[in-house]
Amino acid sequence: MTELDERSDTDSRATDEPAAGVTGATGATETAGAPGAPETVGAADAPASRADVPNPKRALSPWSLLLGGAILVTLLLGQWVWLVAILGLALLITVHELGHFIAAKSFGMRVEKFYIGFPPAALRRTWGETEYGIGIIPLGGFCKISGMLPEEELPEGTGDRVYYKKAVWKRNITIAAGPLMNFLAAAVIMILFIGIQGVPTATLTLDQVVKDAPAAKAGLVAGDTLVGANGQRWTTWDQASAFFRANMGKTISLTYRPAASGSGGASAEKTVKVTLIENPQSPGNGYLGVAAGVVRNRPGPIRAVGLGLAGFKDVVVGTFSGFWMLISGKISATGPDGAVGPVGIINVSQQAVRQSWYPILLAFLSFNLGLINLLPILPFDGGHIALNLVERVRGRRLNAKLLERMIAFGTVLLVMLFIFLTFHDVKRLFGG
């Protein structure tokens, strides 16, 4: 799974939220509100957000019934894993937008809107000068900062609290805060996962015996405990596994302790003759046909942090390795292991929820979301950072018309990518 997967989840805002100065769920800053651009649409953009109109304290729209109904139907159909998968993505989007929000507020910028999900809004409420809301389309979110373009119309009373009047370094920190929060979230997720779930260790007690495999034919069942073979005695699963791999095609004398005998010692042990076959998933290696049981040891806080950071390192290495395999052609972008879009992400996520490794996937997605946003292409966060640096070197901003064209071009590419990935997601889903 690549970074492009995450980006495609959120770029539907090109049509959902074309307002000026909107930092989107993947950090892209929309500037369509400049002269000549369409006006903002959707419930989230009602005139009530203007300073000269009284802001409603709370607004529960009819769209909330649609959102609530969809959740209820999903639960009634027993598909709660889909809700968990979507809520996980919403969490990553919230973290990303919160980074922009906190940084903008810290530097005295005015934040007009902070939304999770795209309009129309199911629920919105105004605190102070910021409108907070939940959209019914769970494919992204946005943080609307005043003054992403000098030409845009500003709410009354904004004064100098606009993005373009701040120093370049403040603007870049505000933009980079989204991806950085995703990197931090990935590390925190891994630390919490290991601290709560514990460190899995394979044991010699069997969790599963494959039907018609050598072990099953020899009479072994789940719950039996391996002791050794050919006079050797094992203390770890790694020792047993290495022995099986090295003895393909050979008949061994396997000693085990039946589950019914408990821990009765050597007198309860049994020895059987077993011929190891070739592993169907790993040619050239021996195969007994068993799965090890797993015990989880919960580490202390300090060790959990260390192991979690080591896990985060694996996330980083795995992400860049995946990119390299895509770029080098070792993995086809449209193949079963290639890039995926929003449909594919949700599908993989619900599988991960069922198999209890969703937090690991969530850490990968969070890192991907942050990394793709640092690409120096508008409307990604990295494109706005690069734009600010160019302004710093030139001493003046780019022409607004040119900036609009650059963002429009990038948005069209992203929409095309969204469609491309979604098309192949659906093909994989239906076995195409």
CA distance 410 to 310: 36
- 124 shares its domain with 37: yes
The pLDDT of residue 260 is 72
Mind listing the pLDDT tens digit for each residue in 166-179? 999 999 999 999 99
Query: For residue 202, which phi and psi values (nearest 5 degrees)?
Result: -70, 140
Count of structural domains within the chain: 2
- 259 shares its domain with 351: no
The pLDDT of residue 170 is 95
Taking residues 206-224, what's their average pLDDT?
91
- 134 shares its domain with 184: yes
Cα-only R_g, the chain = 27
Taking residues 321-341, what's their average pLDDT?
72
Q: Between these two residues, 236 and 378, which has the higher pLDDT value?
A: 236
Contact 81, 354 (CB under 8 A): yes
Domain, as residue range, for 189: 3-197+341-429
Predicted confidence (pLDDT) at residue 150 exceeds the cutoff of 80: no
Residue at 378 is within a domain: yes
Residue at 123 is within a domain: yes
Query: For residue 129, which phi and psi values (nearest 5 degrees)?
Result: -100, 5
- 237 shares its domain with 357: no
- 214 shares its domain with 231: yes
- 187 shares its domain with 216: no
- 193 shares its domain with 203: no
Contact 100, 178 (CB under 8 A): yes
- 156 shares its domain with 23: yes
Query: Rounded to two decimals, what is the model's pTM?
Result: 0.70
Residue at 316 is within a domain: no
Q: Which amino acid is at 128?
A: G
Tell me which of 229, 262, 297 is where a domain ends.
297
Residue at 308 is within a domain: no
Among residues 162, 157, 153, the alpha carbon closest in space to that of 128 is found at: 157
Q: Which amino acid is at 80?
A: W
- 44 shares its domain with 143: yes
The kind and range of the H/E element at 159 are: none
- 154 shares its domain with 204: no
| Window from 170-179, 354-363, 398-407 with minimum mean pLDDT | 398-407
Token digits for 50? 């203007």
Residue at 312 is within a domain: no
Token digits for 285? 């290696």
Taking residues 71-78, what's their average pLDDT?
76
Going by pLDDT thresholds of 50, 70 and 90, the confidence category of residue 349 is: confident
Predicted confidence (pLDDT) at residue 162 exceeds the cutoff of 50: yes
The pLDDT of residue 9 is 38
The pLDDT of residue 28 is 39
Residue at 286 is within a domain: yes
Among residues 1, 6, 9, 14, the alpha carbon closest in space to that of 372 is found at: 6
Q: Between these two residues, 349 and 262, which has the higher pLDDT value?
A: 349
CA distance 63 to 121: 7
The pLDDT of residue 14 is 35
The pLDDT of residue 263 is 52
Predicted confidence (pLDDT) at residue 373 exceeds the cutoff of 60: yes
Residue at 90 is within a domain: yes
Tell me which of 297, 325, 350 is where a domain ends.
297
The kind and range of the H/E element at 87 are: helix 80-106
Q: Between these two residues, 85 and 177, which has the higher pLDDT value?
A: 177
Going by pLDDT thresholds of 50, 70 and 90, the confidence category of residue 334 is: low
Predicted confidence (pLDDT) at residue 111 exceeds the cutoff of 80: yes
Residue at 306 is within a domain: no
- 163 shares its domain with 237: no
- 37 shares its domain with 158: yes
